[in-house]
Structure 1
Amino acid sequence: MSEDMLYVHYETVSNYVLSKGIAVKDYTKLARKLPENLLLVDGRKSIGTYDNHTGFQVIKGQENVKAFFQKGTDNQAAMGKWIDFVNVDMLHLLTPIEISEILYIAHAHTHLHSPFYYKLQNNYIYLTLPNGFIKMYYRYLEQFHELFAEAITVKLKEKVNEKKRFYQKSKEIAPFPIERVKEFIPIFKEGAVISFRQMSIEGNTYCIPLFIAEDRYASIGGRFNEKDSVGTICYDMDRNEWKIDIDFE
């Protein structure tokens, strides 16, 4: 999928978001509260320290977690696959069955039972999938709203300024209102594409169409029929205002 298209599938039963194209400029914002520790479940041996009980690498302490997230800002693939946890002593109480379930999540990219473990007290599971997709479990799904609002703002600012000359000042965009992200939930549940590729401009108003792609991932990278649009996100540069129009039930 082109970087000019964002995909979001919102799963409210298992509390995960499958996305593509949501560029995170600062991975320390990925979690509302920076995790205490991370369990790296992608088999890498060059990061963190080895934990004998689980057989995974771990990153201990918020300062080290912060440094790990900052590397992810430069290279999304560096984020790999991880689960946060609160306490090393509780980590060492994981049973072989629970460790095997975590291995399954890392391999199959889905959970067998609850993705939130009492012993880990985890709030997140982050999985880098093939073809640039990201699957992230959230104990509180509304935390994704902040990332989506930032991604929309950043992407529109890039598009508005992509043809400016080097001596021209960049045009500023008002932040997308986080409280309005909930209006997208009905289409997120179906698998939504926000197509900046098909953005229209009328005067100083920019409108980005919304489409439903469901789970047909192969179709996401293509151009959608305008007649199939289920709404628009518009931004008025003169008034610095966002307008959302979603026609989907």
Structure 2
Amino acid sequence: MRDNFIYINMEELNNVIFTFGISDADLVNGLSEVPDKILLIDNSVEGNRVNTHTHFQMVVGQNDVRNFLLDRQLRPKKWLDFQDLDDVDLLMPTEIAELLYLSHMETHLNLPFYAKLQNRYACLDIHDNFKKSYFHRLKDFSHILDISMKRHLRSMHSKRWTMFNRPLAVNDLSDEIINQLQPLFREGVIFAFDQVVERKRQYLIPVFAELKPEQQPTWHEQEDVFRYTERVATLIYVITEHRWKLNIERKEAFDVLGEL
């Protein structure tokens, strides 16, 4: 499967975002603060401690958490943050069962935010390098997306200009543009960095809206990714001005989705 694209599908009702192309490093670099304690709800990987009440592995210590999240060899990562070690001992059997269900079925029985843990996130690696992340505050995702967008653009640029060693300075994606794109997140959107065109010192990144989001879990081959999509906009980075622009090509796609 091609991998030089970003896919986003946001369920605002459940505070969950389904993504592809947003790496562990994007997540770590995009969080306002890396957690200093995480609970591992899948037994596939080990932490540096074990909670005897739940039998879940834990990673304790901000540097250890950062190193754990950035380790590409550890898969799958399924975790949620928490504030105090003693609070994990307060989890009820039903709550432990919910976390086991979340890990095994990769969906929730109840939203995985627990007052006793005071967690802000719950993140799951799922099939084919997709991620499913629950955010207590959905707006926390904006900076992560900005970090990922800039990384993809720099990566694409460096591959094109390898011989000339021309690094690309990329400014932040503005809140205004993210807000304009927000309606597309609800049904699914693809930022196709593998189809970028350079024209007049601008990078033109095609934006595709997903027409059949129910088909997404069946993606297996490269051609499947764009099979049920249509191009609705172009995200533009103006190299000489170091700024982003959005050219909307199918306004009705934004209007219809925006009414949901």
Whichever residue aligns with residue 55 of structure 1, its letter is: H
Distance verdict in 2 for CA 1:14–1:2, change over 3 Å:
same
Q: What does residue range 1-249 of structure 1 map to in structure 2 within 5 Å? A: 1-25=1-25, 27-44=27-44, 46-69=46-69, 72=70, 74-75=71-72, 77-78=74-75, 80-213=77-210, 214-217=213-216, 218=218, 221-222=222-223, 224=226, 228-246=230-248, 247=251, 248-249=254-255
Q: Given that residues 10 and 188 in structure 1 are in contact (C-alpha distance below 8 angstroms), is that contact kept between their aligned partners in structure 2?
A: yes
Shift of 1:51: 1.3
Distance verdict in 2 for CA 1:45–1:204, change over 3 Å:
closer
* 1:187 aligned counterpart, secondary structure: helix
Deviation string 1:182-220 (CA, Å, 9 cap, x unpaired) is 221100101111112222222212111111222422458
Shift of 1:165: 3.8
Deviation string 1:211-236 (CA, Å, 9 cap, x unpaired) is 122242245842748x9311110111
Q: Given that residues 26 and 144 in structure 2 are in contact (C-alpha distance below 8 angstroms), is that contact kept between their aligned partners in structure 1?
A: no
**TM-score normalised according to structure 1 size:** 0.88
| Counterpart-to-counterpart distance in 1, 2:133 and 2:73 | 14
Deviation string 1:154-181 (CA, Å, 9 cap, x unpaired) is 1112222312244533232223224532
Q: Given that residues 81 and 126 in structure 1 are in contact (C-alpha distance below 8 angstroms), is that contact kept between their aligned partners in structure 2?
A: yes
* 1:29 aligned counterpart, secondary structure: helix
Distance verdict in 2 for CA 1:30–1:160, change over 3 Å:
closer
Q: Given that residues 31 and 144 in structure 2 are in contact (C-alpha distance below 8 angstroms), is that contact kept between their aligned partners in structure 1?
A: no
| Counterpart-to-counterpart distance in 2, 1:76 and 1:143 | 26
Deviation string 1:65-94 (CA, Å, 9 cap, x unpaired) is 23323xx2x517446100111112221111
| Counterpart-to-counterpart distance in 2, 1:224 and 1:136 | 23
| Counterpart-to-counterpart distance in 1, 2:205 and 2:53 | 50
Shift of 1:21: 0.9
Shift of 1:35: 1.7
More off after superposition, 170-179 vs 11-20: 170-179
Q: Given that residues 40 and 56 in structure 2 are in contact (C-alpha distance below 8 angstroms), is that contact kept between their aligned partners in structure 1?
A: yes
Deviation string 1:82-108 (CA, Å, 9 cap, x unpaired) is 011111222111111110011001111
**TM-score normalised according to structure 2 size:** 0.85
Shift of 1:120: 1.1
Q: Given that residues 10 and 187 in structure 2 are in contact (C-alpha distance below 8 angstroms), is that contact kept between their aligned partners in structure 1?
A: yes
| Counterpart-to-counterpart distance in 1, 2:91 and 2:162 | 57
Aligned residues: 245
More off after superposition, 60-69 vs 150-159: 60-69
More off after superposition, 227-236 vs 108-117: 227-236
Whichever residue aligns with residue 237 of structure 1, its letter is: I
* 1:114 aligned counterpart, secondary structure: coil
| Counterpart-to-counterpart distance in 1, 2:145 and 2:72 | 19
| Counterpart-to-counterpart distance in 1, 2:191 and 2:13 | 23
Q: Percent identity?
A: 29
* 1:94 aligned counterpart, secondary structure: coil
- Structure 1 segments unaligned to the other structure (5+ residues): none
Supply the RMSD in Å over aligned alpha carbons: 2.3
* 1:229 aligned counterpart, secondary structure: strand
